[in-house]
A and B are shown apart, each in its own frame.
Chain A
Amino acid sequence: MAKIGVFVCHCGENIASKVDTGILVKSLSDHPGVEICQEYKYFCSDPGQETVKRAIREHNLTGVVVAACSPRMHETTFRKACAEAGLNPYMLELANIREQCSWVHSEKDQATSKAIEITRSLVEKVKRNNELKPISVPVTRRALVIGGGIAGIQAALDIAGAGREVVLVEREPSIGGHMSQLSETFPTLDCSQCILTPRMVEAIQHPKITVMTYSEVEEVDGYIGNFTVKIRTKARYVDMSKCTGCGDCIQKCPVKKISNEFELGLSNRTAIYTPFAQAVPNVPVIDKSRCTYFKNGKCKICEKSCQIDAIDFEQQESVETIEFGAIVVATGFQIQDTSVYGEYGYGKYKDVITGLHFERLASASGPTAGKIQRPSDGKEPETVVFIQCAGSRDPSKGVKYCSKICCMYTAKHAMLYAHKHHGSNSKIFYMDIRAAGKGYDEFTRRAIEEDEADYLRGRVSKVFEENGKLIVRGVDTLLGKPVEVAADMVVLATAMTPQPDAKQFAKRIGIGYDEYGFFNEAHLKLRPVETAKAGIYLCGACQSPKDIPDSVSQASAAAAKVLGLFSREQLEREPVVAAVGESTCAGCWGCVYACPYNAIEQKDIRDRNGNLVKQVASVNPGLCQGCGTCVTFCRSNSIDLAGFTEKQIFAEVMAL
């Protein structure tokens, strides 16, 4: 005999103002199987929970319905209370009369009758609940970090620092990401390389970190605690175990006119190259598409120049499959292709460059050794115009969002220019100056007050060339007047965008993304480093535009989540998993295709003599996430989901 306890919560005024809880209690008290029905101001409070526990003990309740808020809010709370009172926690149901009732209705009597129906249907469901036990699964205490920018490096170092193994996968030949391209960094103006390189070296030398460069994640299978990941490493054609990084091969390579990606085309590189001087690992790669030997079978000059035979033209790409317990995604960002702004003349005039180009020009290790020279003729510019929001906050052509870092780096650029070139004259077109952050507003003030950056509030309509000058035409909205500036160089504060392959990547590993391709967190405020897929975490600019301090903090936060997970050897999982009725399964494999978690396998049914009778579907409870997709697909109704069985759902629906 069912003995159900129903507990109606007022949630302060949240529920009680729209639902007549007295009527609700009265109506449920008369419902068959309801042993006790009570109301209270806050059942989630300590005394509230005590009431529930006492009722369970005193009335020997077989099931509990708490009519309150969403299960996402307090299911765990009340499950715990049930367990403490000796009732199986899965004998609890939360009837959501807040989000799905009181909050969305204005008529009290209608809301009340709806609340009655909702609660009644859950009473009918809970009568058919079964006692379930959590499934415990082992945790592989090794983490995968995807992306070797500052965010990925920081996450890897933190996890490894706590003694756990980490594999750091970077698709470029070196780790470092965008930070390795920056000159000095706001708001302190310390040299980017100087603070980054030690971290890169620490990562590669760390006994617990395996750095896999030139590698990409190809496939992710499994679930929290137990991911199986396939990683493909491209052939470098240089033996990493032998190469000392002397660079003789690079000196000798005859193909010298390849546009250098790291320098954004501001200088050239050879076919065998390291992307930049401080690269980690400091081992060159051969660019197969440009190498003379790979093109026409002759050359191998690098091989001859290498004293220790580290060059290996026979090297093949390799694929490794590794088990992980957690994954941190730190794949970073790209800058927007500014050529969509024809009016700014990017791509047309050599001296219209992006902020990232400027970083390279200002960098001591850059193509001009830190001298600001314009790309067209190498002259030092007398007047530089900076255009902020060149793509950001522009729903028509660019991106809707604010890229967050551009105000700051533009101020930085104006400062660097002033420090490097006396008598500098920088004009900055801006919409707003957004400088929220520790030391940020002071930083921009300094650019204006000490380094004489001239801020003009307004948009630029056109940049064109006239008498060897770049004429920047715009409006100064504060003066309400059109302005024209004759500049020697124009720097665009280009928007930060997701990696071009971000959406495909997200699909491959099974995480969500927003309309732009930035990866989705589980909750923007309360779970900002988790994804909706348990065991996969986010950090850095792959989630949204971020500067270094934010990227690093988020990386440490993600590492903390991973370490929390790794603090246990076993993981308790919800027992809400599907199971197939083998006698009725027709073996159509519809569910096998439909399952988004690849949790369903084919299973042979044999007779006593070992002859195959038929094949049926079989759910791996370790992989099943309890989404129920397979249940809805199966035509022969052969799959049922524990905790949400057809009988339960049917009773719930019929009670409405």
Chain B
Amino acid sequence: MGIQEQYRSEAAALLSSGEVKLVIGFGAGSTADRRRPLFARTPDEAQKFVLDAACIANLSTYLVTEGLLSDGKKVAVFLKPDGIRSINILISEAQLKPEQVVILGYAIENGKEITPLEGRNISDFSIGEQIRSLTPPPHILQEAERIEEMSATERFEFWKEHFAKCIKCYACRQVCPMCYCRRCIVDVNQPQWVSTSSHTLGNFEWNLVRAFHLAGRCAACGACDRACPVNIPLRLVNYRMGKEVIDAFDYCAGENSNQKPVLASFKQDDPETFIL
């Protein structure tokens, strides 16, 4: 039995036994290399799940849909390591209860091979070490280094050029599992901190606010990057912020689910004297 079949029957079993009320996975997409999320509520529907190298989306984002988990029932979800990492972050920010999530984990090796990941509960996955050493794909890394070498003016021009393209569709926000706020700062209009029209300044405001809001929280899944219709390399921003937080606080988001939000907590033995 192939992995896809194995996972299909596992999903079906979870549903028929009543252990979970819903399985979130992938179904066929509009083209051969695209997959779209599939929400299976019956064992029959579970037979439609697809699991192959095209299943790259981070499905954890659907778990924070308002009301989905408020009945206390369990949901199963197909996740790659970056998705598991976002589960850890969501747990540490009290958006999920660990016991409500059943993980159907898999990894994509060399961009083609699907391998199953052992374990079903978040506590089964000790991904800490792995995540710290996890680097973005080589082409992203190269790009990050290239930007790093630029002068401040060049770098500003680079981002200005990119941000100028933003049409404020907020797809990056919608797709991001960490953007779970019921009301986003951009939707606040009393007062209007971030202007809504998509001129360059307003776009800067939006993209920088989002970068700050994701500092030390990004799971590096790249979903924002892929969602952006005008191809702004958003994950470079978040990658850089993540690096900054690791360097400053030795804190790598999503290593485990017992972390406290880095920018909201402090250590008793912090050497800075300004902390009372």
Contacts and interface: CB of A to CB of B under 8 A. Distances in A.
Interface residues on B, range: 20 to 34
B276 A507 contact: yes
A614 interface: yes
Interface string A603-635: 000000001111100000000000000000101
Contact of A636 (B184, B273, B275): B184
A611 B71 CA distance: 9
Interface in A479-525: 504, 506-507, 510-513, 515
Nearest to A614: B70
A446 to B, nearest CB: 43
B261 interface: yes
A338 B93 CA distance: 49
Interface stretch (A152-160, A238-246, A461-469, A589-597): A589-597
Contact of A507 (B213, B264, B268): B268
A106 to B, nearest CB: 30
A647 B181 contact: no
B191 interface: yes
B185 A637 contact: yes
Contacts, number: 72
A341 interface: no
A587 B276 contact: no
A103 interface: no
Residue from A504, A515, A589, A613 having most chain B Cβ neighbours under 10 A = A589
Nearest to A504: B268
Given A510-B276, A593-B260, A637 B213 contact: no
A647 B190 CA distance: 7
Contact of A512 (B95, B188, B261, B276): B276
A70 interface: no
Main secondary structure of the interface of B (DSSP, over half): loop
Contact of B70 (A513, A590, A613, A647): A613
Interface string B234-276: 0000000000000000000000000011011100100001011
A613 B184 CA distance: 20
B183 interface: yes
B170 interface: no
B193 interface: yes
A590 B181 CA distance: 12
Nearest to B188: A637
A294 interface: no
A612 B268 CA distance: 34
Contacts of B159: none
Contacts of A633: 263-264
Interface of B: 70, 93-95, 180-185, 188, 190-191, 193, 213, 260-261, 263-265, 268, 273, 275-276
26 contacts: A507-B275, A533-B276, A583-B183, A584-B181, A584-B183, A586-B180, A586-B181, A589-B93, A590-B261, A590-B263, A590-B264, A593-B264, A594-B264, A613-B70, A614-B70, A633-B264, A635-B181, A636-B181, A636-B182, A636-B183, A637-B183, A637-B185, A638-B183, A647-B191, A650-B191, A651-B191
Given A588-B94, A646-B191, A651-B191, 12 more contacts: A507-B276, A589-B93, A589-B264, A594-B264, A596-B276, A611-B70, A615-B94, A636-B184, A637-B183, A638-B183, A650-B191, A650-B193
